[in-house]
Structure 1
Amino acid sequence: MREWRFVLSKKWLGYLGVAVAFALICVILSHWQWDRRTENLTELNRLNANYNAKPVEVTSILPSLTSYTANDEYRPVKVTGTYLADKFFLARDRSYNGFPGFEVLVPLKTASGDVFIVDRGWVATGNTHDYPDSIPAPPTGTVTVTARLAASEPQISGRTDVPNSNEVAVIGLKDLQSKLQLPTYTGAYGQLVRESPSVAKLPFLAQKPTIDYGLNLSYAIQWVMFAVAAFGFLIYVIRREYDLRYSDEEDQQWLDEMRAYKKAKRGPDDKEIEDELLDKAGYEKSRPGEQVGTGR
């Protein structure tokens, strides 16, 4: 084991410290990705619970015109009133399955005189002009609307409403209230689910939102693998250093052992036998006490 003592030098201890620091960073990042996945799962569970909840009267969730919290997003509510069909708005630059179009926003006036903005769905941009070719009309008279709550959108710098038009850049409820000059719910509006009575044709209704959390799990696993790889690479480098230090001696020893093995396996050749006989003859001639005969 003395050959491995070089790993206790300052150089290699420094490399170990770098590997440990890198691994700790990877573990922290992996934990962060795991936390993000947990947050997304929590958000997904909340979204599903709200989305599939039983509809309730709008006043039970929005007791005032400005009431709304993020926890109420996509909660289904019921609102009864009369559509102000001639005062509808179009939120432009909206896509549906990759196609450009508009969201149709129609004010619904309740019996109390308050207005609840209903997003009745999406319509496509016209074939020959930047405006819908047709917009399905809402039902007339008293109607009960079931809609899922959505928050008022913030204003976007550089995007403005089209002058002298019903086209708006964002679904900003305070802006719509100022255009209507009526008491309007400004905390949230509703994405249409169904109407009673119904009409034969509707715009394309809002699709259920999705939350992608699969990559967070993959990233968490990847960071753990990077941490393990750091120590694997350190072991590889240490082994390379060991080979550079001691591989020549080990190779020479292995070659000597292989030569001896091959020699023992094949037996002595003619030259080795001759050398052995000559050595033996020379030894016998030089044995002490032996005299050469004189012939007498």
Structure 2
Amino acid sequence: MKTYRFLFSSKWAGYFAVAVVFAIACVALGNWQMNRNNDTMANIAKIKANYSGTPVDYLQLKGDFEHLDPAKEWTQVTMKGTYMTADQRVVRNRPLNGAAGYEVIVPLKLDNGDTVIIDRGWLPIGNKEAGHPDVVPQPQPGTVTVVARLRPPEPKLDRGAPAGQIASIELNDYASQLGYPIKTGAYGQLASESPAAAANPTPFPAPSIDPGSHLSYALQWICFGVLAFVGFGYAARMQGRNDEYDALEAAESGVPVEEVYGRGSPFHPRVIKKTRKPGARPTAEEEEDAILDSQGY
């Protein structure tokens, strides 16, 4: 009959502690991946709700151009005004679909006097002059109606840029280069404009709504944590079975069972040397071993 008294030994207590620590680490990593999955799903829901939604008039979202509500990112806004093409800037190091390039941002002075920044699209790197696009399409002069999607400003990068270019869409830094105030809480990513310019930069693709593998990774980490205890239980079962074999072998050899349990490796059965009772006749195997020993083998 199996006994598991060895589980109360310091060695097996150490094995259990290792399993517990490993399981806790796996649960923590699983929770981390689950939180990332929740954030991703919330962002996907926001994109689905806002990206293709009905455009909202600028006056209803004016405050978001000052302090953007994250829940309103990608919302389409309708604005009417004039592009300030003299203050146009090219944003450096903007990849699109694996290709290096630029983005073009232009202030749009609205009919009510406010000025917002519009990102009109992407340009590939140029072949004529290093560090500059070959051509920067100009927007339509005069009054235009623009539909743009709300986007948060970017952090300032600790790097310079040539004249007429900026390192990132950091609106406070951009505002310092202009002679008039602009809204610095958000900018608009161009969706459409009327009348349209003769040539426009490449429009932006829709944002990804791929949920990724965070949920799968979270479930894998939880399974790893469970497997730690499965492995501990399997090792304990093997130890108990080995002890049972040793007990049966000890009983045949006259060794007290109390001297068997609690000793030995948790993974390999022990080999217990059989002892012969005093006065018992040696077996043929023992006689053969004695002859070999006497001959030096």
TM-score (norm 1): 0.75
Kindly indicate whether residue 135 of structure 2 is the aligned counterpart of residue 137 of structure 1: no
Per the alignment, residue 195 of structure 1 pairs with: 193
Kindly indicate whether residue 50 of structure 2 is the aligned counterpart of residue 50 of structure 1: yes
Tell me: CA distance 1:64–1:31, structure 2 relative to 1, closer, same or farther (3 Å).
closer
Matches within 5 A, 1:238-257: 238-247=236-245
Structure showing greater radius of gyration is: 1
Tell me: CA distance 1:54–1:233, structure 2 relative to 1, closer, same or farther (3 Å).
same
Kindly indicate whether residue 104 of structure 2 is the aligned counterpart of residue 104 of structure 1: yes
Once residues 239 and 181 of structure 1 are traced to their aligned partners in structure 2, the CA distance between those partners, rounded to angstroms, is 79
Once residues 92 and 8 of structure 1 are traced to their aligned partners in structure 2, the CA distance between those partners, rounded to angstroms, is 66
Which structure 2 segments of 5+ residues have no match?
252-297
Kindly indicate whether residue 184 of structure 2 is the aligned counterpart of residue 224 of structure 1: no
What amino acid is aligned across from residue 175 of structure 2 in structure 1? Q
Tell me: CA distance 1:160–1:67, structure 2 relative to 1, closer, same or farther (3 Å).
same
Q: Name the SS of the counterpart of 2:151 in structure 1.
A: strand
Per the alignment, residue 148 of structure 1 pairs with: 149
Tell me: CA distance 1:46–1:180, structure 2 relative to 1, closer, same or farther (3 Å).
same
**Which segment drifts farther, 1-10 or 131-140?**
1-10
- What displacement does 1:248 show? 5.7
- What displacement does 1:53 show? 2.1
Q: Name the SS of the counterpart of 2:81 in structure 1.
A: strand
**Which segment drifts farther, 135-144 or 24-33?**
24-33
Asked if 2 retains the 8 angstrom alpha-carbon contact of 1:65 and 1:184, the reply is: no
Deviations 1:203-251 (A, max 9, x none): 1112222265432212211112212221222133223333543436768
Tell me: CA distance 1:195–1:9, structure 2 relative to 1, closer, same or farther (3 Å).
same
**Which segment drifts farther, 106-115 or 18-27?**
18-27
Q: Name the SS of the counterpart of 2:86 in structure 1.
A: helix
Kindly indicate whether residue 178 of structure 2 is the aligned counterpart of residue 177 of structure 1: no
Once residues 86 and 69 of structure 1 are traced to their aligned partners in structure 2, the CA distance between those partners, rounded to angstroms, is 30
Match for 1:210 among 198, 208, 211? 208
Tell me: CA distance 1:242–1:190, structure 2 relative to 1, closer, same or farther (3 Å).
same
Once residues 244 and 64 of structure 2 are traced to their aligned partners in structure 1, the CA distance between those partners, rounded to angstroms, is 83
- What displacement does 1:79 show? 1.0
**Which segment drifts farther, 192-201 or 206-215?**
206-215
Once residues 174 and 193 of structure 1 are traced to their aligned partners in structure 2, the CA distance between those partners, rounded to angstroms, is 24
**Which segment drifts farther, 47-56 or 239-248?**
239-248
- What displacement does 1:90 show? 0.5
Greater helix content = 1
Asked if 1 retains the 8 angstrom alpha-carbon contact of 2:2 and 2:241, the reply is: no
Deviations 1:169-207 (A, max 9, x none): 111222322322123111111110001112343211122
Q: Name the SS of the counterpart of 1:99 in structure 2.
A: coil
Once residues 153 and 164 of structure 2 are traced to their aligned partners in structure 1, the CA distance between those partners, rounded to angstroms, is 18
When the two chains are superposed, the root-mean-square deviation of aligned CA atoms in Å is 2.5
Once residues 204 and 16 of structure 2 are traced to their aligned partners in structure 1, the CA distance between those partners, rounded to angstroms, is 55
Once residues 28 and 123 of structure 1 are traced to their aligned partners in structure 2, the CA distance between those partners, rounded to angstroms, is 43
Tell me: CA distance 1:33–1:160, structure 2 relative to 1, closer, same or farther (3 Å).
same
What amino acid is aligned across from residue 126 of structure 2 in structure 1? G
Identical aligned residues as a percent: 40
Tell me: CA distance 1:243–1:168, structure 2 relative to 1, closer, same or farther (3 Å).
same
What amino acid is aligned across from residue 125 of structure 2 in structure 1? T
Once residues 245 and 64 of structure 2 are traced to their aligned partners in structure 1, the CA distance between those partners, rounded to angstroms, is 83
What amino acid is aligned across from residue 178 of structure 1 in structure 2? S
Deviations 1:113-170 (A, max 9, x none): 332211110111111322111122211221100000112222112x1232xx211111
Alignment size in residue pairs: 250
Deviations 1:24-44 (A, max 9, x none): 342343233223312221122
Q: Name the SS of the counterpart of 1:112 in structure 2.
A: coil
Matches within 5 A, 1:284-295: none
What amino acid is aligned across from residue 74 of structure 1 in structure 2? W
Tell me: CA distance 1:21–1:206, structure 2 relative to 1, closer, same or farther (3 Å).
same
- What displacement does 1:50 show? 1.9
